[in-house]
C-alpha cells in the first residue's frame, strides 16, 4: 500500500465522528441491509481513449462498481452514473447505451445521475446492493488457519495494459481482461449465500498483494501463499500476478468448513491465513525479499 493513500485514509478516519463504515469495498448499512459503494474514474489517470472506446469504458466503469458489491457478498440493484467532461451527443449516446446493456446483463437498474461540463472526462458511479440472504464480508474477519481462496485470474489486466501501451489495437485475452474485465458473480453468490461463519473478501482492483495486505492489516493476520496455486493466464509475469491491478478477481479468507460448504469449483485454495502479520509467497516474505524486483508497479 502506498503511504500517501494510507495517510489520506487516516486523515478521513480521524475527521469523521463515526468512521465505522469505512474500510471495505462497500459500506454495509445494517439497518437497511444494503451495501453501497462509489468510485471515480478520471481520463488520463484510469483510462485513455488511445486504447479504449466510450462503449468499453461504460461497461468497465459499471463492472468495477458491481465488483465492489460482489466483494461484499451482496448483489447489485441500482446505480447512479455521473459524467463530467467535454460532453457531446455522440459520446453520451454510446456511453449510456453501453452502460444500459451492461446493467441489464447484471440485473442492475440505472436510476439517475448528473451531467456537467469539465476539461477531463470523469465518471462517478454510485452503486447499491442488497444483503438479503447474504453473509456480508469484512476485511476484519480473517482468522488464523482460514483458507485463502481465490476466484478469477490475477495479472492478466496489467499485462493487457502494457500491450495496449505498445499497440492500442492489440486484441487478445490480456487486453480483453483490461478493457472489459470479468467479474465474479457466481463465486460471490456461492460464498455469501453459503458461508456460515464471518469471512473476509475483497476484489483485486489494486492487485493481489494489495488485497492481502489490506485483509492482513484489518484482521491482524498474515498470509502464506502457494504461488503455483494462484489462478493466472499462461504468459503473465510474477510481477503482474502479484502486483497487477484491475483484474476484479476475488480474494477471500474463509474457514475450512465454509470453504467446503461453498463448494464452488472456481474458488481455488491458494494458501492459508497465519498470525505472522506478514505475507509469505512460497515461504519468502514479500516485504523483505521479493518486492524490489516488482518496484516498477509501485
Residue whose CB is less far from its own copies, 83 or 200? 83
Secondary structure (3-state) at 245: coil
Shortest distance, position 221 Cβ to its own copies, whole Å: 23
Distances (CA, A) of 1 to 8, 203, 215: 12, 15, 12
Residue whose CB is less far from its own copies, 83 or 179? 83
Residue whose CB is less far from its own copies, 93 or 289? 93
Residue whose CB is less far from its own copies, 128 or 195? 128
Shortest distance, position 247 Cβ to its own copies, whole Å: 19
Shortest distance, position 50 Cβ to its own copies, whole Å: 18
Alpha-helix residue ranges (DSSP H) falling in 134-281: 156-166, 173-179, 185-194, 208-219, 238-243, 256-262
Residue whose CB is less far from its own copies, 93 or 275? 93
Nearest to 202 by CA among 257, 260, 136: 136
Q: Is 278 exposed, middle or buried (0-12, 13-18, 19+ CB in 10 A)?
A: middle
Residues that bind its own copies in the complex, under the rule CB under 8 A: 5, 7-9, 11-12, 15-18, 21-22, 26-27, 29, 32, 34, 36-42, 44-46, 77-78, 80, 82-84, 87, 89, 92-93, 96-97, 100, 104, 109-120, 122, 124, 126, 128
Shortest distance, position 243 Cβ to its own copies, whole Å: 19
Main-chain phi, psi angles of 92, to 5 degrees = -60, -40
Shortest distance, position 235 Cβ to its own copies, whole Å: 30
Distances (CA, A) of 78 to 65, 92, 93, 134, 262: 11, 20, 20, 17, 27
Kind and range of the H or E element at 7? helix 3-15
Amino acid at each position: 500500500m502506498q503511504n500517501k493513500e494510507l495517510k489520506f485514509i487516516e486523515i478521513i478516519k480521524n475527521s469523521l465522528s463515526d468512521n465505522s463504515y469505512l474500510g471495505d469495498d462497500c459500506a454495509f448499512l445494517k439497518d437497511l441491509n444494503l451495501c453501497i459503494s462509489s468510485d471515480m474514474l478520471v481520463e488520463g489517470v484510469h483510462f485513455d481513449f488511445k486504447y479504449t472506446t466510450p462503449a468499453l469504458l461504460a461497461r468497465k466503469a459499471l463492472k468495477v462498481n458491481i465488483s465492489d458489491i460482489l466483494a461484499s457478498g451482496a448483489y447489485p440493484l441500482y446505480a447512479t452514473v455521473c459524467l463530467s467532461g467535454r460532453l457531446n451527443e455522440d459520446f453520451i449516446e454510446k456511453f449510456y447505451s453501453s452502460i444500459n446493456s451492461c446493467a441489464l446483463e447484471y440485473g442492475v437498474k440505472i436510476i439517475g445521475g448528473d451531467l456537467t461540463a469539465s476539461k477531463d472526462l470523469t465518471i462517478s458511479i454510485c452503486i447499491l446492493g442488497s444483503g438479503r440472504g447474504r453473509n456480508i464480508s469484512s476485511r476484519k474477519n480473517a482468522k488464523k488457519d482460514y483458507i485463502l481462496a481465490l476466484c478469477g485470474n490475477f495479472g492478466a489486466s496489467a499485462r493487457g495494459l502494457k500491450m495496449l501501451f505498445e499497440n492500442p489495437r492489440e486484441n487478445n485475452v490480456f487486453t480483453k481482461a483490461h478493457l472489459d474485465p470479468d467479474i465474479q458473480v457466481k463465486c460471490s453468490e456461492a460464498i455469501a449465500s453459503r458461508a456460515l461463519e464471518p469471512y473476509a473478501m475483497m476484489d483485486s482492483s489494486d492487485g493481489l498483494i494489495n488485497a492481502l495486505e489490506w485483509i492482513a492489516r484489518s484482521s491482524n493476520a498474515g498470509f502464506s501463499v502457494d504461488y503455483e496455486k494462484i489462478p493466472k493466464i499462461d504468459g503473465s509475469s510474477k510481477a503482474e500476478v502479484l502486483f497487477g491491478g484491475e483484474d476484479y478477481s476475488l480474494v477471500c479468507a474463509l474457514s475450512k468448513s465454509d470453504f467446503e460448504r461453498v463448494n464452488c469449483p472456481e474458488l481455488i485454495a491458494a494458501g492459508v491465513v497465519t498470525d505472522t502479520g506478514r505475507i509469505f509467497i512460497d515461504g519468502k516474505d514479500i516485504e523483505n525479499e521479493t518486492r524490489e524486483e516488482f518496484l516498477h508497479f509501485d
